[in-house]
């Protein structure tokens, strides 16, 4: 495992606690909307390969799509704008940023364990290299001011919501 990996559990525990306080409505999600799972047909765009589907925060799917598609910040803004056209979800952007961390970790774990399940899509070395790339992306996001600001905004929201009760 990469250096500093032991800090992840603490970060995940904090995010879990924060998300429980946010009381996010979960909805049916794909949970793996990477570009290779989209098909353009005569009937339009289709999303395939629903093996990881389940109820989740929709910000997960948006964050996963952004990470897997290597979208830039302008493209992220467009994605969120077209998803939430009425701008009604006040925490969507900040959950989207936090979910980028979670999706990177999920992808790290998934890639790291593929050689153990004898996935032959790539060599063991390639899976390790891909997973290390995901871990570096995770580290970059977790250190970013955007992530820290999003966490602080969500924490403030939960504090304000608790005061109202």
CA distances, 98 to each of 39, 91, 125, 146, 155 (Å): 28, 11, 29, 9, 12
Assigned architecture for domain 7-21+28-164: Alpha-Beta Complex (3.90)
Determine the distance from the C-alpha atom of residue 95 to the mean position of all C-alpha atoms in its chain, rounded to a whole number: 9
CA distance linking residue 53 with residue 76, whole number of Å: 22
Tell me phi and psi for residue 103, to 5 degrees. Answer: -70, -35
Contacts of residue 39, defined as CB under 8 A and 6 or more positions apart, other chains included, come to: 45, 46, 48
CA distance linking residue 1 with residue 136, whole number of Å: 12
pLDDT value at residue 70: 93
Tell me phi and psi for residue 49, to 5 degrees. Answer: 65, 75
Each residue of 122-163: pLDDT tens digit? 888 898 899 999 988 988 999 999 999 999 999 988 877 655
Quickly state the pLDDT bin for 31 (edges 50, 70, 90).
very high
Q: What is the mean pLDDT of the chain?
A: 90
pLDDT value at residue 161: 66
User: Could you tell me the residue ranges of all domains in the chain?
Assistant: 7-21+28-164
């Amino acid at each position: 495992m990469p250096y500093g990996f032991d800090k992840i559990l603490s970060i995940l525990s904090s995010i879990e606690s924060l998300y429980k306080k946010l009381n996010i409505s979960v909805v049916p999600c794909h949970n793996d909307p990477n570009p290779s799972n989209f098909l353009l047909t005569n009937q339009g765009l289709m999303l395939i390969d629903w093996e990881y589907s389940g109820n989740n925060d929709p910000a997960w799917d948006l964050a996963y799509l952004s990470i897997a598609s290597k979208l830039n910040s302008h493209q992220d803004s467009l994605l969120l704008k077209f998803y939430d056209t009425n701008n009604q979800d006040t925490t969507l952007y900040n959950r989207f940023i936090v979910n980028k961390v979670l999706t990177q970790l999920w992808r790290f774990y998934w890639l790291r364990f593929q050689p153990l399940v004898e996935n032959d899509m790539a060599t063991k070395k390639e899976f390790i290299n891909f997973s290390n790339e995901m871990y570096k992306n995770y580290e970059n996001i977790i250190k970013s001011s955007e992530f820290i600001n999003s966490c602080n905004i969500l924490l403030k929201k939960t504090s304000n919501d608790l005061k109202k009760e």
